[in-house]
Amino acid sequence: MTRTTIPASRSTGVVVGPVRATWLSVESHWLWYRRNWRSSAFSTFLGPVLFLLAMGFGFGSQVRPGAATGGLSYVEHLVPALLVTTAIQNANFDSTYAVFSAFKWSKTYWGAVATPLTPGQVFAGQLTWNALRLGASLAVFLAVAGLLGALTGPAVLWAWVFALLAGTAFSAVVVAWTATRRTDSAFNGLFRFVVMPMTLFTGAFFPMSDLPSWTWPLAWITPAWHGIELSRGAAFGTLGPVALLGHVAYLSALVVVGAVLGRRYFTRRLAV
């Protein structure tokens, strides 16, 4: 009898499950971060705090509590919204240049997909890492705001949840989009024409009613506006259940759309 066979493997490698694979990818980002956190410490931690000091306490001291601030001091009114805009700004770099580099400059994604990991798992790892890092940086920001006496009460913790959701929604969509970019030329434009307006004109610093009404629909499609509505509404107890569900549904839908597209675009780019 003749048996044709591939002789037993001497290889020690095995295929890990999708959750574990995603987590291993997260681990590698964490290892990188532990070595290189200094380079992003200013933009991630110090920048937002300086912003809180300048806008919240500096500029805010000129604003008298009133209807526009829900009767609160300007800085108290600002913090939940600032958490959202900080989330979007912090997510921006991790979702553009960091991702683009892993495709094009450091090429680390290409290394990862030569292992049992799949492009979809590499994408999932990146997005999970972005969300975890966002969660950590927002927690630090919230703690600092607390030390500075800018928090109204425990309900502000909800602002952390919704800022994280808004930031992750933004990240999911932008990471997916970045996977389709062949050059880094669009990232500056994204920052100037999308991220900046999205953080300035969606009601964080002054009511949207001060803006011409034709700008409102533009704000309504941004994750920032939904995040700010949620985060302020939950922190100050002014949010009705319908609005709550609506905003959460919109942001969750963005996460899902970003995840589906991201998986597809990562696969298209890495398995050519």
Residues that bind other proteins (CB under 8 A): 1-7, 9-16, 20-21, 24-25, 27-28, 31-32, 35-36, 106-108, 110-118, 270-272
Residue 7: CB minimum distance to other proteins, A: 6
C-alpha separations of 182 from 86, 93, 178, 261 in Å: 27, 17, 9, 17
| Cβ neighbours, 10 Å, residue 268 | 12
Which of 4, 62 has the CB closer to other proteins?
4
Residue 240: CB minimum distance to other proteins, A: 47
Q: How far is CA 236 from the centre of its chain?
A: 23
Which of 12, 183 has the CB closer to other proteins?
12
Mark out the alpha helices in 37-70 (DSSP H runs). 38-41, 47-51
Given the structure tokens 């913790």, which residue do they identify? 157
What distance in Å separates the CA atoms of residue 166 and residue 252, rounded to the nearest whole number? 9
Residue 179: CB minimum distance to other proteins, A: 16
Q: Six-digit token pair at 111? A: 């290394």
- How many Cα atoms sit within 13 Å of 107 on the Cβ side? 3
Which of 1, 242 has the CB closer to other proteins?
1
Residue 29: CB minimum distance to other proteins, A: 10
| DSSP code, position 152 | -
Q: Six-digit token pair at 219? A: 């704000």
Which of 256, 271 has the CB closer to other proteins?
271
| DSSP code, position 104 | H
Which of 21, 254 has the CB closer to other proteins?
21
Which of 10, 64 has the CB closer to other proteins?
10
Residue 186: CB minimum distance to other proteins, A: 23
Residue 109: CB minimum distance to other proteins, A: 8
Q: At what angle do helices 119-147 and 157-178 cross, to 10 degrees?
A: 150
